[in-house]
A and B are shown apart, each in its own frame.
Chain A
């Protein structure tokens, strides 16, 4: 039974009871060299990125007008982003944003699925730094697009001052809109992704570590409860699979939504 924890939670920093934020700590790959940032979770993120690139290159390699099985699969994935996110939200201007949307949804999705994939069993975005990084990218994207389209002054006015607000309320409304559009947006974007995966993975750790401890307690009743707990963790894994897909989708949809509101014509 000693093998369950390393098998189900191979990348955790600390598997003592109770699981906490410290459980998510990374392990340096070369301890003592002063390069703590080269750690197991970073490697996982690198592998994730390479995997995403590899999968897309395989899908897009040598395409034909009449798709084969491989291309058909790729087109299904691509069409999901293209039609239900790109065209649906950005309308006819979707084409230049396709690379960004495809890249971000697949990068997040693969890293989320690592949470349920053996060898990894750890969702990269439960490390909040990665979530901040991507949220920052999306923030830069929609603001850059808006500024490029309207110019800085016009864009700021559009984003901070709704039509028809009387001058007397400007001083109250402008900070509100500013916070809403430039602060809460990226923060909620990052936190939503991070919190879902962090919480989900924490629950898994509770069941796995707790279950293991119960099994090893020596008492038959506790051991049985521990077995159930381990089994239940698999149900949570299944749930996390769903959450991981959903969060990847939501992050991408929101990015597209922000871009759309940044380039939308005033009414």
Chain B
């Protein structure tokens, strides 16, 4: 005989309805949990994660801003240094230029002064020579007149010969 009529004892439900009641109740619980409970919890978690992530993002942004500000500041500083160095170099160059110019001017001035002094001396010398020649001519004429015994003063010929004499004297002296 095949043992198809096994007595399952307590493994057979007292009422088959237990199975359906159990399933029905569970389905109701499942439905409520699926509709109300789990979405609520998950939404809260998502919100929380977002809040935390948002906070981190904000902090990161602040950090980035700070880093940017620092970089900017350093750049400015470097620029300022560069500028100062440029200005200094320029100033040095200018100073050198000015000094050279002043030197050149001074040299020129002294040259000019020397030249004008020379000129003045030349002029004075020429004037002195001219005066001297006149005086010497007079003296000589005077002297010759005395020697000759008469006045030679108004005589053109005599004056011309005296001049010629003096010129010869000049050229000999030079």
Direct contact of A and B (CB under 8 A): yes
| A residues with CB within 8 A of B | 21, 24-26, 36-37, 39, 41-42, 45-46, 48-49, 52-53, 56-57, 59-61, 63-65, 67, 71, 74-75, 78, 82, 95, 98-100, 102-104, 106-107, 127-134, 136-137, 191, 194, 198
Interface string of B44-87 (1 = CB under 8 A from A): 10011001000000000000000000000000000000000000
Q: Is the CB of B38 within 8 A of A98?
A: yes
Alpha-carbon distance between A53 and B29 when the two chains are bound, in angstroms: 6
In the complex, residue of chain A having the shortest beta-carbon distance to the beta carbon of B10 = A21
30 contacts between A and B (CB under 8 A): A24-B10, A25-B14, A37-B15, A42-B18, A42-B21, A56-B32, A56-B36, A57-B32, A57-B36, A60-B36, A63-B40, A65-B48, A65-B51, A75-B41, A102-B33, A102-B38, A103-B26, A103-B34, A107-B29, A127-B13, A127-B18, A129-B14, A129-B16, A129-B18, A129-B22, A130-B18, A131-B22, A132-B13, A133-B26, A137-B27
Cβ of B165 under 8 Å from chain A: no
Closest to A59 in B: B37
Partner of A65 from B30, B40, B44 at Cβ < 8 Å: B44
Query: In the complex the two chains form, what is the Cα distance from A63 to B9 in whole Å?
Result: 48
Contact A100 B30 (CB under 8 A): yes
B42 part of interface (Cβ distance < 8 Å): yes
Q: Which residues of A contact B28 (CB under 8 A)?
A: 49, 53
Cα distance, A181 to B13, chains bound together (Å): 23
Within 8 Å CB of A134, what residues of B? Answer: 22-23, 26
Complexed CA–CA distance, A24 and B11 (Å): 12
Q: Min CB distance, A59 to chain B, in Å? A: 7
The reply to whether B15 and A36 form a contact with Cβ atoms under 8 Å apart is yes
Q: How far is the CA of A107 from the CA of B25 in the complex (A)?
A: 9
Does B6 interact with chain A (Cβ within 8 Å)?
no
Nearest A residue to B35 via CB reads A99
Q: Is the CB of B22 within 8 A of A132?
A: yes
- Are B44 and A26 touching (Cβ within 8 A)? no
Asked if B172 is at the interface (CB within 8 A of a chain A CB), the reply is no
